[in-house]
Structure 1
Amino acid sequence: MKPENVLDAWAKLPAGIFQGNTIDLGNYDECHKVDHETGNETVGRIQGRYCQMTIPLNLSSLQARQFPSDNGNNGLTLQLGTCFPATCEASQLNSIFNSSIAGVVTLPKITFTCETPLPGLGAKEVTAIVIFSIVVVLLLFSTMYEVIMLLSSRQPNPNLVMFSIYTNGVKLLRISERPPQNQPKSNQIDCLNGIRVISMVWIVFCHNYMMLFFAPLVNKVAIFDWIKSYHSMLVVGGTVSVDSFFLLSGLLVCWSLLKELDKNRRLNLPVMYLHRYLRLTPALAALMLLSTTLLKYGGSGPMWKNMVVLMEDSCEKYWWSALLYLQNYVNPTEICLGHSWYLSVDMQLFILSPLVIYPLWRWGRKILYVIAVLILLSMGCVIAAFLINNLRLAFVDSGKHPKDKNRQVLVYYPTHIRMGAWLIGVMLGYIMHLTKHRIVRLSKVVCISGWLISLSIMLAILLGDYPLQQPDTYADHPVVVDAIYEATNRIVWAGCLAWIVFACVNGYGGPINTFLSLPIWQPLGKLSYSIYLLHVPIQTMLLGSLRSTGYFSDIVAAHNFWGDFGLTVTISILWCLAFESPMVGLEKLLFGRFLKPKPNTVALVEEQKTEHQQNGSTENIITRDPV
């Protein structure tokens, strides 16, 4: 292209600045296509280099309040995409522009950030290519071997089909039969499948909105009007879906360990912990490897470096704490794969679970009082954090606190804060364990009242956040109101969901249990871990590759969601077949001879595998809050 395309690629002053249209990305691709040989030895070859110019806006405090908070700057900057010759550096542009306009007009300091070329393939990138290539070869070889053996009517070697797409695909799509209607209880808790999938879809839906908030929008101020609508609470209050997963996790861990204690009267902790680690870590480690090596080559765009390359930086620095599941305490402000904070909390609770569940098995109901005290202490920590740091729940208040003192770090990531819903799940697991061989009889009044109260409270929890989120009035009430709401809403949500599970298991679920137990939930439930891992990186890549300013509305968000979710499910199938499903056989092959667990411990592992296929094991209980 000709040199004049350098100027043509520049952004123009956007219309509707007071509606939040403060970003014009220019023409990113036109700038990169500039490549002109001038024939002049002094000037030489002209190539385009994309830069972003940031101009702070001097708005009044009243005007500033009308802009959604964005990374702590309250949206008060004008960002314009520009194009310069590739020989120009950001420092030179900063000096030239600020000195040139200083004597002409009074403007705040202008800053430039210029795109730098991606580095070539290094040792870590080559290593990643080799590792992923080996996995692909294993998948192809194992699948071809099994197909050949089946066509020749011979029995394949189990060790050679652990990576088979055919075998693992059949397991993934297999739907277990529901127990007969006249059998009130079984080890198969069908309703958990529906709860898990609905919660996961809810999470992806909420994160889809969060990504839209971070995108350049022509009507960013419309987010304020959206928050004033009641249906927005489905997104803003959607963080309770995390507590749904914590409840299910506590329930399944307690259920499994109590059965093991009944059989063996002890727990084989090394086997239990190793089994858990090996089931969770390979898929996470593979995604971390991809994020730190090859993901940056998967696209481009004006925001690509800010959105995608930053993931590489945090994972390079804190890969070890991610693999040790300590990120929520060690590096809460720079989490590798931001949504993986949940895995750290869940793993820590799993490691500590024998300290709660063994006493519960040994001394019975007395320990329920101890659990209740732990829940109250957790709630007290939330209230203290809010009052000490003057925290607010309002979405528009985010970014107004130091990075290490914001609400996410203080009251969202810590295990001691989030353990309440998990402990409710443990209590539910204990109650279900006590009543597993009994028919629980509830009167019609109790049953109807339980359903009406639980569903009404869950709706109230979602809508109760409404007055605390209003951008014009959220600061008019004392901080203690936010503190009490945040301390109680998660626990109460988990308690209401516990009633739903208990009622469904004991035959009082009616049409809700029928819906939650639909067979279609089973395959999606088995994919929930891979969906959890992949959906945020996929959404981040899509956001980073944007070329133009977007428009905010619920219709746009819904359209984006179905695209995000469909793409995530598709890639999750491949990810599950490559890094999740083979781990069962690989674990036996590598460690079976050395561990040699007691027969009852083997039974526990097999029960957990069955739950993975039927109910979804605790390894599949995953989610997260907006990154």
Structure 2
Amino acid sequence: MFYIRRAIFTLLFTIGEALSDNVWFQQPNLAGDLRLLSETQELAQAQRSAEALQVWKEVTWKAAVAAYDAAKTRPEEDMAVPTYNVSEACRNATFRYQEDLLRGKMYALQMFDATGKLPSGFFEGNLNWWGLYSQCTNITAKGYGENINFDAKYWTATIGPLPPGYLRVGVCVPDTCSRNDVIQWLDGSVLMRLLLREGLTVMDAKSLQVQTTLPRTTLAAICIISIIVALMTAGTLYDIYRPIWEVHQPTRSENANKAVTETTPLVNDTSVTRKTEERPVSKFLLAFSVRTNTRKLLSTRESPDSLGCLHGIRFLSMTWVILGHTFGFVLPHLDNLSYRLTVSRRFSSEPILNGFSSVDSFFFLSGVLMAYLMLLQLDKYRREGRRFPYWQLYVHRYWRLTPVYAFVLMLWVWVYPYIMTGPAATTAPDPGCPKNWWYNFLYINNFLDMVTVNIQCMGWTWYLANDMQFFVISVPIIWLTFRYLLVGMITQVVLLLASFGATIGLAIHYNLQPVLTSPGQYPDATNLIYQKPYCRIGPYLVGLMLGYLLYRTRGQVRMHKAVALLGWLAATGICMGVVYGLYNHLTQGVVLSRPVAILYLTVHRTAWGVGLAWVVFACVNGYGGIINTILSLKAWIPLSRLTYCAYLVHPMVIYLVYQDQTETNIHYTDILLAYYFVGHVVFSYAVAYIVSMMAEAPMRHLEKLVLKQDT
């Protein structure tokens, strides 16, 4: 506590007073004034601190420059002069800016105004002192008609560490100063000389590089997007005006080549016109029709074999994922971090802190649909005496996922960084994408590290890699279950036990805690266990087993109401235990015994799948009541179709909201979090609709055109 109070006093004094009078140009550092400032940290009486402050205010920048120049000629003298290496262009421009600031010139006042200063809320965790990014970048000192050869440039300096994190200060300086100049100026300033006593140093300085010319890759992406937009326009126009064109086409009737008589109709009778088969070019254009694709996307019709409650579960699980990411991504941008930490201790916040089961819901749903639909097709092909096209399952799966995946990756790497502005933005692409993008298209990127050397591209897509790997092995498993029930079930049980064994072994060896947010969790837990298929397959296997059960029963199971009630109570208890069972551990820091921690880590994902399995089983068989009514609402169907695209784009949407801020922090409140959450859901699905129109829906049509059948 004493350390924090000393650091706060230093920041209040040096930044609030010394920095405000001399911006950040205290590089000359008169020896006596530096000692006086250093001594103020030890002053206990407010009167002496005020007295020292008054002395410092009397030091002008001209005296500082004179002392600096004198010190250069007397290096042997023990002067408190920094030994940094600042370019001459930056030094000259800085002195000119400082002089114009004291003269009250408008551009210099605006630059000073745009520099970050000590704001309110430091005790609440406000460590982002952005200043005014937009104002700084719009300042053109050259436009004042004087002999000024620089413009303003915005830099974000990272200083730390402080107990809550790192301090980020925005500085508006002449554009002749490089990154090294900014760091050296700060390192040699009175500000940093004082902060060094508290163990604080300048970690880095970054500036958003404004692109005068776009990279070739970005231009290529723009061309691809333009071509797709042109195809969408042409396809939509063709779709709208096709009926008119067909009406005016010549009629292929029996009288077409005969002479015109009194019995020949004056207008061609289109009701008897033979409609010609659409050509491949027509089908290709229609694949991009926004009109046709929107109708199919927003349609609420279902096939007789569909499981209606899955639509609601899928959409609600996606909103749960967005809720967790909203809460997690906002942390670096809060101006009241301490309040957020207080809120996180609430019992109602547990679904956010322990919201990792939302991803397990998708694994479970994938398993259910995979087993249920494939078994129905196997049964159909057997009754018809046809050979089942197993290879088409893999082609179909890869075709449906990869093109839209590639389209979003193109936006993420080539376009997205160049639409960002603000102090937290960056034009640097995802560091894992330049070298490791091909792992994503082979769906093995989950075996790369999340944050270290071989970093992933689009890190959140580790889920897609797991899901594809589960799909690959599930095809032979379902075939075994269809042909040899006992062998298939034993195989699934063995896989589940192997997953438990792998999780237990890793938990014991690395002393892993129950979840990623647990206090004292192993730093590399994400790479070791969170994204590895052999630790995440449990819910998927539960889904495969339920899919087989639904295939065999076809919604005809009847049970006593007491049994159904008991099932609902058990499922509710299991799911509530998974989500809320770690409340004291996550919020109060209660240490779990090793057996309990390992047990939870091993079985909680599978247990969550078992709880959902009962919900689906009860709803399909007519024991869902109001829950089935809610989950089976027709409104969920279009949103459910957009879930895949929403999963791909929603981190981009959240990053855009938080990183594209020009100068403001976010003041956390419950209402504001709800506002951001709802906005992220709406915005994510809106972007998902656009991506679906541009990439996903056309590929579904083209798949039928290439394979010449509905798949």
Q: Settle same-fold status: TM greater than 0.5.
A: yes
From 211, 224, 228, give the equivalent of 1:131: 224
Cα deviation code 1:207-257 (max 9, x no counterpart): 111122232x22101232122101111212222111111111011111122
Cα deviation code 1:147-177 (max 9, x no counterpart): 1112445576434311111111111111116
Q: Take 2:401 and 2:705, find their aligned partners in 1: how far apart are those partners?
A: 17
Counterpart residue number, 1:483: 598
From 585, 600, 614, give the equivalent of 1:499: 614
Cα deviation code 1:191-213 (max 9, x no counterpart): 11111111112211221111222
Q: Rate the CA distance shift 1:98–1:190 in 2: closer, same or farther, 3 A.
A: same
Q: Rate the CA distance shift 1:257–1:394 in 2: closer, same or farther, 3 A.
A: closer
Contact 1:311 1:337 in 2 (8 A): no
From 117, 122, 147, give the equivalent of 1:12: 117
Contact 1:93 1:112 in 2 (8 A): no
Cα deviation, residue 29, structure 1: 1.0
Q: Take 2:111 and 2:597, find their aligned partners in 1: how far apart are those partners?
A: 51
Counterpart residue number, 1:516: 631
SS in 1 for 2:668: coil
Counterpart residue number, 1:349: 470
Pair 1:441 & 2:558 matched: yes
Q: Take 2:114 and 2:363, find their aligned partners in 1: how far apart are those partners?
A: 49
> How many residues get paired?
561
Counterpart residue number, 2:134: 29
Q: Take 1:448 and 1:274, find their aligned partners in 2: how far apart are those partners?
A: 43
From 406, 416, 426, give the equivalent of 1:295: 416
Q: Take 1:503 and 1:248, find their aligned partners in 2: how far apart are those partners?
A: 15
For the aligned residue pairs, the C-alpha RMSD in angstroms reads 2.4
Q: Take 1:240 and 1:46, find their aligned partners in 2: how far apart are those partners?
A: 54
Cα deviation, residue 358, structure 1: 1.9
Counterpart residue number, 1:271: 392
Contact 1:421 1:494 in 2 (8 A): yes
From 287, 310, 317, give the equivalent of 1:162: 287
Pair 1:390 & 2:506 matched: no
Equivalence map 1:299-448=2 (5 Å): 299-305=420-426, 309=427, 311-333=429-451, 334-393=455-514, 401-402=522-523, 405=524, 407-436=525-554, 439-448=556-565
Cα deviation, residue 343, structure 1: 0.8
Higher Rg of the two aligned structures: 2
Pair 1:581 & 2:673 matched: no
Contact 1:97 1:110 in 2 (8 A): yes
Equivalence map 1:209-228=2 (5 Å): 209-215=327-333, 217-228=334-345
Pair 1:567 & 2:705 matched: no
Q: Take 2:193 and 2:328, find their aligned partners in 1: how far apart are those partners?
A: 42
Pair 1:535 & 2:535 matched: no
Counterpart residue number, 1:114: 206
Counterpart residue number, 1:174: 299
Equivalence map 1:253-268=2 (5 Å): 253-264=370-381, 267-268=388-389
- Aligned AA for 2:152? G
SS in 2 for 1:473: coil
SS in 1 for 2:238: helix
Q: Take 1:481 and 1:294, find their aligned partners in 2: how far apart are those partners?
A: 47
Q: Take 1:99 and 1:299, find their aligned partners in 2: how far apart are those partners?
A: 32
Q: Rate the CA distance shift 1:172–1:123 in 2: closer, same or farther, 3 A.
A: same
Q: Any stretches of 5+ residues in structure 1 without a counterpart? A: 59-63, 68-74, 179-185, 593-601, 607-627
Q: Take 2:177 and 2:576, find their aligned partners in 1: how far apart are those partners?
A: 56
- Aligned AA for 1:24? W
Contact 1:209 1:235 in 2 (8 A): yes
Pair 1:558 & 2:678 matched: no
Q: Take 1:310 and 1:401, find their aligned partners in 2: how far apart are those partners?
A: 29
Contact 1:468 1:482 in 2 (8 A): no
Q: Take 2:221 and 2:187, find their aligned partners in 1: how far apart are those partners?
A: 44
Q: Any stretches of 5+ residues in structure 2 without a counterpart? A: 1-105, 248-274
Q: Take 2:245 and 2:229, find their aligned partners in 1: how far apart are those partners?
A: 24
Q: Rate the CA distance shift 1:175–1:322 in 2: closer, same or farther, 3 A.
A: same
Cα deviation, residue 456, structure 1: 2.4
Q: Rate the CA distance shift 1:96–1:457 in 2: closer, same or farther, 3 A.
A: same
Cα deviation, residue 492, structure 1: 0.8
Counterpart residue number, 1:47: 151
SS in 2 for 1:365: helix
Q: Take 1:104 and 1:19, find their aligned partners in 2: how far apart are those partners?
A: 23
Contact 1:227 1:233 in 2 (8 A): yes
Pair 1:88 & 2:164 matched: no
Q: Percent identity?
A: 32
SS in 2 for 1:111: strand
SS in 2 for 1:82: strand
Counterpart residue number, 2:660: 545
Q: Rate the CA distance shift 1:27–1:397 in 2: closer, same or farther, 3 A.
A: farther
Q: Rate the CA distance shift 1:114–1:160 in 2: closer, same or farther, 3 A.
A: closer
Q: Take 2:547 and 2:521, find their aligned partners in 1: how far apart are those partners?
A: 41
Contact 2:111 2:152 in 1 (8 A): yes
Cα deviation, residue 537, structure 1: 0.4
Q: Rate the CA distance shift 1:176–1:97 in 2: closer, same or farther, 3 A.
A: closer
Q: Rate the CA distance shift 1:49–1:111 in 2: closer, same or farther, 3 A.
A: farther
Q: Take 2:637 and 2:515, find their aligned partners in 1: how far apart are those partners?
A: 36
Contact 2:368 2:547 in 1 (8 A): yes
Q: Rate the CA distance shift 1:319–1:399 in 2: closer, same or farther, 3 A.
A: farther
| Stretch deviating more after TM superposition (356-365 or 149-158) | 149-158
Q: Take 2:330 and 2:188, find their aligned partners in 1: how far apart are those partners?
A: 36
Contact 1:94 1:112 in 2 (8 A): yes
Cα deviation, residue 590, structure 1: 3.4
From 222, 235, 238, give the equivalent of 1:142: 235
Q: Rate the CA distance shift 1:477–1:447 in 2: closer, same or farther, 3 A.
A: closer
Tell me the TM-score normalised to structure 2 length: 0.75
Contact 2:650 2:680 in 1 (8 A): yes
Contact 2:642 2:688 in 1 (8 A): yes
Pair 1:280 & 2:372 matched: no
Q: Take 2:224 and 2:516, find their aligned partners in 1: how far apart are those partners?
A: 41
